[in-house]
């Protein structure tokens, strides 16, 4: 290869290397020319799930002692694989929107080539022959720009936009479910802790009664049967306390796993004040159901999926129309060795191209029927989701009403049982009451404590379940002192 050919090869290599470096530089940065990331719904929890910052923002330290419910939810959201999967899906649909919008820009392609050819000619009749060689350096730049397509690109962009909206809403719904599950686990642990405290108190009371009965028997003023019955009640209270300790440990391990911690990680939850029911959920259930159709993220996702299917139908229908594109090319060849002297051949082309689809084996007909059927499926799914959502709202509404009444009844029961036990204990100590009355009052008091704890936990969970069925579940709903109607648009996941 001659010096000129080597020089051309080096120049070609340099051009290719520069193009690769340019592409690599663009891809290395968070380049978003179509601003698709602005269409990605943001929120306090979603910020934690951002791909570039997840390793930092979701890298929690050891649990604080005690730990509040907000930290429990944050840990659960960050370490739940479905949360990260949904976030990745949103980013993928945002990129798909950018792909759809890119069809409005021209396409430029550069092709560079370097070829070396040689020819040998030999003659049998004479001792003659020849050898020629040539190097060819070529390059071309082609342009393609779709000018008019009867709205196919608009339909494709609308489809991508609706799918992104559906992904945003689906992620919102998923985050609400993860939050609900984490809160349920936390409330179960809180209830187990309260039950353990009540069991310890019941055991202490039973021991005190046993000691009193035993002392009376030793003093000759009480029957041995009373001491034996009190001892039996103490053994039962101890058994309940041991079992409750086991339930508390299991609940703590389950909550630890939900937060991405080892099951044996020690931690405590902050004791919350007893819930104070609000009457905000007593609004018309018909109004709540109607509001849910407009605000529930699952229904928003289903509506967006339906709109995307309709946009795809329009796109397929419009693809049967002609398209008009601007085309052009710039070519340069340097066929060294073909002529007496090295020359350069330049060619330029510019024009318009009209493409008219005529016949595609009826594929377009069946494709149109397919997407129309898919749109019908999406409509049926939306109708079913609306019915299911109204049922969930109705159930949650009735459940919260029931649990609110149960909470008030349990409070009255506990107050009455405590007063009854105090009276029975006083009468027994005064020698005018029997051990049976005391133990019965003790059992009723212990049962009232457990029912009160269960009612508090059930009310908290029912309240969050109603918020979830309404599509209003967010970090702000974790505060039981706030009515559900007081929605905070800046604290919800995608608001």
**Domain boundaries, given as residue ranges, for the chain:** 57-118+139-478
Angle subtended by helix axes 69-79 and 152-218, to nearest 10: 130
Torsions phi, psi of 328, nearest 5?
-165, 160
What pLDDT score was predicted for residue 344?
Answer: 76
Cα distance between residue 375 and residue 51, in whole Å: 33
**Pairing relationship of beta strands 345-355 and 107-122 according to DSSP bridges:** unpaired
Cα distance between residue 317 and residue 320, in whole Å: 6
- Answer whether 65's CB lies under 8 Å from 268's CB: yes
Other beta carbons less than 10 A from residue 143's beta carbon: 16
- As a whole number of angstroms, the longest Cα–Cα distance in the chain is 146
Cα distance between residue 408 and residue 341, in whole Å: 104
Q: Sort 326 into a burial class: Cβ within 10 Å, 0-12 / 13-18 / 19+.
A: middle
- Answer whether 463's CB lies under 8 Å from 15's CB: no
Q: Minimal CA–CA distance to 51: which of 90, 98, 93, 87? A: 87
**Residues listed for the chain:** 495
What pLDDT score was predicted for residue 322?
Answer: 94
3-state SS record for 100-114? HHHHHCCEEEEEEEE
Cα distance between residue 177 and residue 468, in whole Å: 7
Cα distance between residue 21 and residue 19, in whole Å: 5
DSSP state of 281: G
- Answer whether 259's CB lies under 8 Å from 72's CB: yes
Cα distance between residue 306 and residue 390, in whole Å: 19
Cα distance between residue 308 and residue 416, in whole Å: 60
Cα distance between residue 310 and residue 382, in whole Å: 13
Cα distance between residue 487 and residue 493, in whole Å: 12
Question: Tokens in use for 54?
Answer: 């997840």
- Output the DSSP codes for 230-242: HHHHHHHHHHHHH
Question: Tokens in use for 395?
Answer: 């159930």
Question: Tokens in use for 349?
Answer: 């082309």
Exposure string (b/e) for 241-267, b if CB count within 10 Å is 16 or more? Answer: beebeebbeebbbebbebbebeeeeeb
Beta bridge partner(s), residue 121? 130
H or E segment to which residue 209 belongs:
helix 152-218
Cα separation of the two ends of the chain: 67
The set of long-range contacts for 488-494, using a CB threshold of 8 Å and a minimum separation of 24, is 491/43, 491/44, 492/43, 492/172, 493/41, 493/43, 493/44, 493/45, 493/46, 493/171, 493/172, 493/175, 493/176, 494/41, 494/42, 494/43, 494/46, 494/168, 494/169, 494/171, 494/172, 494/297
Other beta carbons less than 10 A from residue 227's beta carbon: 21
pLDDT tens track of the chain, all 495 residues? 454 555 555 555 555 555 555 554 444 446 788 888 888 876 545 555 554 444 445 677 787 678 888 888 888 888 888 888 888 899 899 999 999 999 999 999 988 888 777 777 776 655 566 667 777 778 889 999 999 999 999 999 999 999 999 999 999 999 899 999 999 999 999 999 999 999 999 999 999 999 989 998 898 888 889 899 999 999 999 999 999 999 999 999 999 998 888 899 888 888 777 777 765 555 577 888 888 888 899 999 999 999 999 999 999 999 999 999 999 998 887 766 444 456 777 889 999 999 999 998 999 899 999 999 999 999 999 999 999 999 999 999 999 999 999 999 999 999 999 999 999 999 988 888 888 999 999 999 999 999 999 999 999 999 999 989 988 887 777 777 666 655 544 444 443
Q: Minimal CA–CA distance to 378: which of 163, 204, 211, 209? A: 163
The yes or no reply on domain 57-118+139-478 and CATH 3.40.50.300 is no
Question: Tokens in use for 242?
Answer: 């041991």
Question: Tokens in use for 92?
Answer: 């993928």
Distances (CA, A) of 10 to 3, 14, 17, 115: 11, 6, 10, 13
Exposure string (b/e) for 66-94, b if CB count within 10 Å is 16 or more? Answer: ebebebbbbbbbbbbeebbebbebbbebb
Cα distance between residue 343 and residue 136, in whole Å: 10
């Amino acid at each position: 290869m001659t010096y000129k050919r080597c020089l051309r090869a080096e120049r070609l290599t340099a051009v290719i290397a520069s193009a690769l470096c340019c592409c690599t530089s663009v891809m290395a940065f968070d380049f978003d020319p179509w601003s698709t990331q602005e269409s990605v719904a943001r929120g306090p929890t979603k910020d934690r799930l951002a791909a570039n910052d997840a390793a930092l923002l979701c890298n929690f330290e050891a649990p604080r002692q005690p730990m509040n419910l907000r930290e429990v939810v944050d840990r659960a959201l960050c370490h739940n694989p479905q949360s990260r999967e949904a976030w990745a899906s949103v980013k993928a649909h945002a990129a798909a929107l950018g792909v759809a919008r890119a069809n409005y820009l021209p396409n430029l392609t550069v092709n560079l080539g370097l070829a070396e050819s040689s020819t040998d000619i030999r003659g049998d009749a004479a001792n003659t022959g020849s050898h020629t060689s040539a190097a060819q350096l070529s390059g071309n730049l082609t342009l393609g720009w779709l000018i008019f397509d009867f709205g196919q690109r608009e339909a494709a962009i609308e489809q991508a936009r609706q799918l992104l909206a559906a992904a945003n809403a689906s992620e919102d719904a998923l985050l609400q479910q993860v939050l609900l599950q984490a809160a349920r686990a936390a409330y179960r642990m809180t209830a187990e802790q309260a039950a353990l405290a009540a069991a310890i108190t019941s055991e202490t009371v039973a021991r005190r009664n046993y000691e009193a009965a035993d002392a009376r028997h030793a003093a000759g003023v009480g029957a041995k049967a009373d001491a034996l019955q009190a001892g039996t009640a103490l053994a039962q209270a101890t058994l309940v306390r041991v079992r409750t300790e086991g339930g508390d440990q299991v609940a703590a391990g389950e909550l630890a796993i939900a937060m991405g911690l080892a099951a044996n990680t020690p931690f405590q939850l902050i004791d919350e004040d007893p819930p104070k029911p609000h009457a905000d959920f007593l609004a018309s259930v018909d109004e709540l159901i109607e509001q849910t159709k407009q605000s529930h993220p699952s229904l928003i996702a289903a509506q967006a999926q339906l709109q995307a299917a309709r946009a795809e139908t329009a796109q397929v229908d419009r693809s049967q129309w002609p398209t008009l594109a601007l085309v052009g090319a710039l070519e340069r060849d340097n066929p060294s060795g073909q002529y007496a002297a090295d020359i350069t051949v330049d060619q330029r082309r510019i024009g318009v191209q009209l493409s008219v689809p005529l016949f595609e084996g009826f594929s377009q007909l069946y494709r149109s029927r397919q997407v129309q059927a898919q749109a019908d499926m999406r409509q049926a799914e939306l109708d079913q989701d609306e019915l299911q959502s109204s049922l969930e709202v109705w159930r949650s509404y009735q459940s919260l009403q029931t649990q609110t009444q149960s909470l008030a009844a349990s409070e009255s029961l506990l107050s009455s049982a405590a007063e009854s036990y105090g009276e029975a204990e006083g009468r027994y100590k005064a020698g005018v009451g029997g051990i049976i009355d005391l133990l019965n009052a003790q059992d009723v008091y212990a049962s009232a404590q457990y029912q009160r704890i269960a009612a508090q936990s059930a009310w908290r969970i029912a309240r969050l379940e109603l918020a979830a069925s309404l599509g209003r579940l967010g970090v702000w709903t974790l505060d039981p002192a706030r009515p559900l109607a007081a929605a905070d648009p800046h604290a919800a996941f995608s608001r």
